[in-house]
Structure 1
Amino acid sequence: MTLRKRLFWLFAPLLVLALLFAYGLSQSLILSRFDRQDAQLLEGEAVRLQNLLEQNLRRNLDLVQSYAQWDTSYEFMHGQHPDYLRRNADPEALSEMNFDFMVFLDLQGRVHAEQWLPPTLTDMFVLDGQPPRSLEALRRAILEQARGLIQTSDEDLYGALIAVQGVPLNLAMGSIQDNQSTLPSAGTLIAGHFLDGERSENLQQQINGTLRLLAADHSVERWAPLPSPGVFSLNRAELSQRHLPNEEQQQILLRFSNSLGQPQMLFELTRDRRLYHEGRKAIAIFLAQATGVSLLALLLIYLGLEFAILRRVSRMHQDIAAIGPDSSQQRLQDRGTDELGRLACEVNRMLERLEQSETRDREILDAIQDGYFEIAPDGQVQAVNRALCNLLDYPAEAMLGQSYERLLSREDAERARQDFALALANNEQIRFSAPLRRGDGSLGHYETRFSLIRDSQGHFAGFRGILRDISEQVAYQNQLLDLAYRDSLTGLGNRKAFSEQLRHALDKAQREQGRLALLYLDLDRFKEVNDRYGHDVGDALLQDIAERLRRTVRQPDRVYRLGGDEFTLVLPDSNSVAAQKLAERLLAELQNAAQIGALSIDFVTPSIGIALYPDHAQNPEALIKAADSAMYEAKRERNRVDLFHPRLLSSSTQSG
């Protein structure tokens, strides 16, 4: 990731985080405060609605009191003033007092007189949508509920908001007495009006919000009681929790219950969340402006970084990238006095120290006698010293950047790859030796010990090692091996080499379920050569026979001299037919006279015995014994080949 992208991803998330923080802060503090203010305004309107209803009730009570505590009314209840209703409670008077009915009850609760001006049933406002069956049924229900309220109240003057048969009404009641309230009560005066559409509309006009009258069974979980403005009301007012029907509005319920705690009616007050939405608009404008200012600040910061830092860093990068092995004394050009300038100065000092260190290391590496090399992870040679070039007879330019595998054979290159993988897996030093191809085309044996190279972060960066020429040691070791495993007279493998080769060949045949043939060869009348011509001629004859065996056998390294005039051949993956064909060719080759100097020796002939695995034996000792037995059987007639037969071994054993 480039530095520009890193700086962008540094500042951009901070900007977004700051804007999100501002948004969250505005939501949690400012908007919540506006929302609480909207809720307070809604609750205030609900309390105001309660006060308006209480004021209406207070007004009705004042009117009822003016009638109930009047001597004329008191006398009317005692049978006087028969024209009282016509003169004081006619329909016109009731309409002026905003009453829909007025009823005089005696002390027994019987109707003494009454005046009704109710609206029609179709014009009445009904809470549950089902109007009363008749006005008479509504009248009886109102009187019955009024009598119940009279019995539960100890006051002389009181009122209540009640719902009778789903019809809401404002009811005022007062005890009928004389002007001085010195005489006993003569009954109760009841008056009130229905909360019809017109009165609800008048109430709506006095409230800042939308008002709706609902049935009292509207379900709300929790209610908060409101204090009553006066002691004259029999109602208990309660306020619900605020709820939000949508994003734009808020609602609250005002419930009125009678003195028995029975809910009578609900007033649903709906009001816009004006402050909340104005706050949201203000916050949106603020966030938009803050975002614009932040983007402008980000642009200015980016431009400042581009011209003050990034371009200087880019130039420093170009200067550093131009520094290489062939550009010594090249330095950074930044000469500023700020942090970047001081950084460039320190880099120049570091380059000077590094050049001094590299020069010192190069001198040390060129001074040592052993070859030094470094190999990249992809196998290319990265560094060599002078001694390595001398050991391999290559100039440094011919090896740098080339794969090490070009110096090895295919088998040794595969082995080297395995050793490199092992060193990387185990994080250990590995010893490796193999023939390497020199610059003149010859092969030399070399040994190296290599280890891992890791960079400053500890990551694998290649291999380094020391190379030594061990050609003389390998030649000496091969000479020792020849002495240990080769017959000094004929150059063929000796008995020790034969034993090991036979064992390995048998193990392989057993693993792979293969076959193997063993040929035993003995020279007839060879003793006469030594007796007649001397051991020097006998040795020369053995060398001649060994050379003819090599020419006849396709794999000469499978021919061995066991000692004296005995030879053997190991033939892996061979059956009886192939073994007999080879034996016949050997007979034909060895029947020819041997020319030893001026002597021509033609009386020495071979006898050959053949034994097969797994037909004749399962182990080396038994197989050798079987081939030897077959060879002695062939010597009875001389100059012939004989395949082992188990009966021959048993008869020979019995005769012995």
Structure 2
Amino acid sequence: MTLRKRLFWLFVPLLALALGIAFVLSQQLILSRFDRQDHALLSAEAERLRIQLDHSLKRNLDLLLSFAQWDDSYDFMQGLHPEFMRRNMDPEALRQVNFDFVIYLDLQGRVYAEQWLPPDLPDLLVLGQQRPGSYQALRDGIIQLGLRLRQNSGIDAIKGQVVVVQGVPVMLAMGPISNSQGSMPPLGNLIAGHFIDGERAEQIQSEVNATLRLLPPDGAQTDWVQLAPGNGSSLTEIQISPRQVLDGQRQQMFLLLGNSLGEPELLLELTKERRLYHQGRKAIGIFLALSSTAGLLVLLLIYLGLDHWILRRVSRMNQEFAAIAPNSSTQRLSDSNHDEIGQLAREANRMLERLEQSETRDRQILDTIQDGYYELDPQGIILATNRALCQMLGYPSQELLQHSFAQLLTLEDSQRARQLFIQARESGKSTSFAAPFRRGNGSLGYYETRFSLMHDSQGQLTGYRGILIDISDQVAYQNQLLDMAYRDPLTGLGNRKAFAEQLKSALEQTQQQRGRLALLYLDLDRFKEVNDRFGHDVGDALLQNIAERLRGAMRQPDRVYRLGGDEFTLLLQDAGAEVAQKLAERLLAALATPAELNGLRIDFVTPSIGIALFPEHAQDAESLIKAADSAMYEAKRTRNCAHLHRPQTLSSPS
């Protein structure tokens, strides 16, 4: 990742974090405060509605008591002033006091007198689906409710409450009928009030800064709070609901009004917009947008400043570093400002000078040593060599550098070397390796190398370094010693030791593969006569001639051995009696021609060949040799022939 990207991913998350914190704080602090204020406004409207209803009920009670506790009303209930209703309770009088009905009940609960001025039935506000069929049903319902209230609270009770009769909300007031001083026992009760029709509902709505709906009670209410009536309040029982938020835009609260019997009567629904909350959200959105714009502008200015004062200089320094090649010893960083980057450039220049001095010293040391030095990358590409290695292998340095080491080895040896590199990487230890290397002139030379791992400052593998030593003379000497140990010096064939080891190995392989093996034992007839007549030098020359003919007759010349004197053996794998017999005939034919040795013609020396088979004639090496030797002695009786071993059978006693 480039430095520019790193700076970008440094500032952008910080800006996003700052905006996120601002958003969370605005939600938790500012918007929650606006929400509480909206809640308080809705609660204030609910309180205003309660005060308004209470004010209407108190007014009705005051007007009702002005008629109920009046001497004329008291006398009227005693049968005096028969024209009391016509003079005082005519429709005009009811209209002035805003009553839709007035009912006089006597002590027995009978209607003594009544006056009605109700609105039209279609204008009534009805809760629910079923509308009252007539005013008679409304009248009977009001009278029955009045009698229940009197029975529950007594004839002296003064009641003002909102009730629902036949689905129609009613502002009801009731009080005892007595004299003006209230000193006489009541003669009955006066019930008066008005219906809440559409016009009166709109009037109530106009006094409240919220949307009002009148609903029937909807059953049990949970988490609602019972409000205590205020001083002088006429409302008997009020419950208020917790605030509810509707679709995030509006808030809602309910007031449940009950009568003095503890029965729920009317549900008032108040709905109000969350105006402050939404204004706050808009303000916060504008603030965050402006803050984001300002933050991005600041980020851009900071980025441009960093790009101009830091990033360009760092980029130029990086390019100058990359341009410094191994042979550009005089190239240096150009930044010379008197700040941290300029100081870094000066320190880097001093470091380059020390590094070049160290590399010059190391190169001089490497060029003076006699052993070859090299460095490889993890893929085996040659990165560095010294003068001795180039001279040792016969390549100029340009033909080795940036080329794979595998070009110097055979395919098998290069694969073995790669396995050693892997083992060294896994173990972390130095490893040695010896193999024939291909020289520049095409010849092969034997070299031994010991290499170790190279790591960087973070411990990561960067390659391998090692020393190469020429061991060609040592390998040649070892091969010479090996040849002396296993080679007959006169004929160049394998000697008795080589034959014993090869026979053992061939038998083990044949046993594993469940195959067959043939051993031919050859001895020269009348060879002693050559030494006696012509001398040992001629005898040795004859043996060399015989050995060369035997090699020429074999498909695998390395399977011919001289055991000593004039005795030879031949190993033939995967062969039975027929194949061995044919080979013996081919050997007899090859040795039938007289030998011409320095003007001498020797034609009297012939071979005798014994043949033994594994596993038919023997199960081990010693037995197989004895069987072949026995067959060879059988052949010598006739001379110049081959004889297959025949195991002796025990004759039965006579």
Calculate the TM-score normalised by the size of structure 1: 0.93
How much does 1:552 deviate? 2.0
Q: Over residues 315-343 of structure 1, what are the superposed CA-to-partner deviations in whole Å (9 max), with x where a residue is unaligned?
A: 11121111111110211000011111111
How much does 1:278 deviate? 0.8
Once residues 505 and 192 of structure 1 are traced to their aligned partners in structure 2, the CA distance between those partners, rounded to angstroms, is: 133
Q: Over residues 374-398 of structure 1, what are the superposed CA-to-partner deviations in whole Å (9 max), with x where a residue is unaligned?
A: 0112222111122222322333233
Once residues 414 and 118 of structure 2 are traced to their aligned partners in structure 1, the CA distance between those partners, rounded to angstroms, is: 118
Q: Which residue of the partner structure matches residue 649 of structure 2?
A: 651
Letter in structure 2 aligned against 1:302? Y
Q: Write out aligned runs for 1:22-421 (5 A).
A: 22-153=22-153, 156-217=157-218, 220-421=221-422
288-297 or 396-405: bigger deviation: 396-405
How much does 1:621 deviate? 4.5
Q: Residue 534 and residue 268 in structure 1: after superposition, are their counterparts in 2 closer, same or farther (change >3 A)?
A: same
Contact between 1:525 and 1:605, CA under 8 Å: does it hold in 2?
yes
Q: Residue 487 and residue 652 in structure 1: after superposition, are their counterparts in 2 closer, same or farther (change >3 A)?
A: farther
How much does 1:532 deviate? 4.3
RMSD of aligned alpha carbons = 2.5
Q: Secondary structure at the match of 1:365?
A: helix
Q: Residue 368 and residue 279 in structure 1: after superposition, are their counterparts in 2 closer, same or farther (change >3 A)?
A: same
Q: Residue 294 and residue 478 in structure 1: after superposition, are their counterparts in 2 closer, same or farther (change >3 A)?
A: same
Letter in structure 2 aligned against 1:65? L
Q: Secondary structure at the match of 2:549?
A: helix
Q: Secondary structure at the match of 2:246?
A: coil
Q: Residue 383 and residue 502 in structure 1: after superposition, are their counterparts in 2 closer, same or farther (change >3 A)?
A: same
Once residues 167 and 525 of structure 1 are traced to their aligned partners in structure 2, the CA distance between those partners, rounded to angstroms, is: 155
Once residues 414 and 169 of structure 2 are traced to their aligned partners in structure 1, the CA distance between those partners, rounded to angstroms, is: 107
Once residues 652 and 558 of structure 2 are traced to their aligned partners in structure 1, the CA distance between those partners, rounded to angstroms, is: 37
Q: Write out aligned runs for 1:479-558 (5 A).
A: 479-511=480-512, 515-558=516-559
Letter in structure 2 aligned against 1:386? R
How much does 1:574 deviate? 4.4
Q: Write out aligned runs for 1:598-613 (5 A).
A: 598-613=599-614
Once residues 518 and 651 of structure 2 are traced to their aligned partners in structure 1, the CA distance between those partners, rounded to angstroms, is: 23
Q: Secondary structure at the match of 1:113?
A: strand
Q: Residue 556 and residue 61 in structure 1: after superposition, are their counterparts in 2 closer, same or farther (change >3 A)?
A: same
Q: Over residues 428-464 of structure 1, what are the superposed CA-to-partner deviations in whole Å (9 max), with x where a residue is unaligned?
A: 2111011122233332211111111111221111111
How much does 1:307 deviate? 0.9
Q: Residue 338 and residue 489 in structure 1: after superposition, are their counterparts in 2 closer, same or farther (change >3 A)?
A: same
Once residues 139 and 349 of structure 1 are traced to their aligned partners in structure 2, the CA distance between those partners, rounded to angstroms, is: 113
Contact between 2:254 and 2:269, CA under 8 Å: does it hold in 1?
yes
Q: Secondary structure at the match of 1:651?
A: coil
372-381 or 589-598: bigger deviation: 589-598
How much does 1:203 deviate? 0.9
Once residues 276 and 420 of structure 2 are traced to their aligned partners in structure 1, the CA distance between those partners, rounded to angstroms, is: 80
Q: State whether structure 2 residue 11 is matched by structure 1 residue 11.
A: yes
How much does 1:73 deviate? 1.2
Once residues 327 and 349 of structure 2 are traced to their aligned partners in structure 1, the CA distance between those partners, rounded to angstroms, is: 17
How much does 1:33 deviate? 1.3
Once residues 127 and 643 of structure 2 are traced to their aligned partners in structure 1, the CA distance between those partners, rounded to angstroms, is: 131
Letter in structure 1 aligned against 2:100? D
49-58 or 574-583: bigger deviation: 574-583
Letter in structure 2 aligned against 1:651? T
Once residues 610 and 3 of structure 1 are traced to their aligned partners in structure 2, the CA distance between those partners, rounded to angstroms, is: 86
Q: Residue 512 and residue 420 in structure 1: after superposition, are their counterparts in 2 closer, same or farther (change >3 A)?
A: farther
Q: Secondary structure at the match of 1:46?
A: helix
Q: Residue 467 and residue 170 in structure 1: after superposition, are their counterparts in 2 closer, same or farther (change >3 A)?
A: same
593-602 or 264-273: bigger deviation: 593-602
Q: Over residues 627-649 of structure 1, what are the superposed CA-to-partner deviations in whole Å (9 max), with x where a residue is unaligned?
A: 445444444433333445xxx22
How much does 1:589 deviate? 0.7
Q: Residue 559 and residue 272 in structure 1: after superposition, are their counterparts in 2 closer, same or farther (change >3 A)?
A: same
Q: Over residues 57-82 of structure 1, what are the superposed CA-to-partner deviations in whole Å (9 max), with x where a residue is unaligned?
A: 11111111111111111122222222
332-341 or 158-167: bigger deviation: 158-167
Q: Over residues 543-570 of structure 1, what are the superposed CA-to-partner deviations in whole Å (9 max), with x where a residue is unaligned?
A: 2211112222232222222233332223
Q: Residue 391 and residue 80 in structure 1: after superposition, are their counterparts in 2 closer, same or farther (change >3 A)?
A: same
513-522 or 456-465: bigger deviation: 513-522
Letter in structure 1 aligned against 2:336? R
How much does 1:216 deviate? 0.4
How much does 1:44 deviate? 1.1
Q: Secondary structure at the match of 2:604?
A: coil
Letter in structure 2 aligned against 1:11? F
Contact between 2:54 and 2:235, CA under 8 Å: does it hold in 1?
no
Q: Secondary structure at the match of 2:244?
A: coil
Once residues 519 and 447 of structure 1 are traced to their aligned partners in structure 2, the CA distance between those partners, rounded to angstroms, is: 42
Once residues 346 and 241 of structure 2 are traced to their aligned partners in structure 1, the CA distance between those partners, rounded to angstroms, is: 76
How much does 1:31 deviate? 1.3
Once residues 653 and 87 of structure 1 are traced to their aligned partners in structure 2, the CA distance between those partners, rounded to angstroms, is: 175
Q: Secondary structure at the match of 1:492?
A: coil
Q: Residue 488 and residue 166 in structure 1: after superposition, are their counterparts in 2 closer, same or farther (change >3 A)?
A: same
Q: Secondary structure at the match of 2:308?
A: helix
151-160 or 173-182: bigger deviation: 151-160
Q: State whether structure 2 residue 477 is matched by structure 1 residue 465.
A: no
Once residues 295 and 308 of structure 1 are traced to their aligned partners in structure 2, the CA distance between those partners, rounded to angstroms, is: 20
Contact between 1:217 and 1:263, CA under 8 Å: does it hold in 2?
no
Once residues 631 and 170 of structure 1 are traced to their aligned partners in structure 2, the CA distance between those partners, rounded to angstroms, is: 148
Structure 1 portions without partners, runs of 5+? none
Q: Residue 385 and residue 65 in structure 1: after superposition, are their counterparts in 2 closer, same or farther (change >3 A)?
A: same
How much does 1:616 deviate? 5.5
Q: Which residue of the partner structure matches residue 441 of structure 1?
A: 442
How much does 1:615 deviate? 5.8
Contact between 1:158 and 1:232, CA under 8 Å: does it hold in 2?
no
Contact between 1:561 and 1:568, CA under 8 Å: does it hold in 2?
yes
Q: Over residues 585-612 of structure 1, what are the superposed CA-to-partner deviations in whole Å (9 max), with x where a residue is unaligned?
A: 2221112222333432222222334445
Contact between 1:157 and 1:232, CA under 8 Å: does it hold in 2?
no
Q: Over residues 167-209 of structure 1, what are the superposed CA-to-partner deviations in whole Å (9 max), with x where a residue is unaligned?
A: 2221111122211111112222111222222211111111111
- Percentage of matched positions with identical amino acids: 62
Once residues 140 and 622 of structure 1 are traced to their aligned partners in structure 2, the CA distance between those partners, rounded to angstroms, is: 142
Q: Over residues 215-262 of structure 1, what are the superposed CA-to-partner deviations in whole Å (9 max), with x where a residue is unaligned?
A: 101665321222323455353212111112212211111111233432
Q: Secondary structure at the match of 2:463?
A: strand
Letter in structure 2 aligned against 1:465? G
Letter in structure 2 aligned against 1:207? V
How much does 1:468 deviate? 1.2
Q: Secondary structure at the match of 1:361?
A: helix
Q: Secondary structure at the match of 2:638?
A: coil
Contact between 1:159 and 1:232, CA under 8 Å: does it hold in 2?
no
167-176 or 88-97: bigger deviation: 88-97
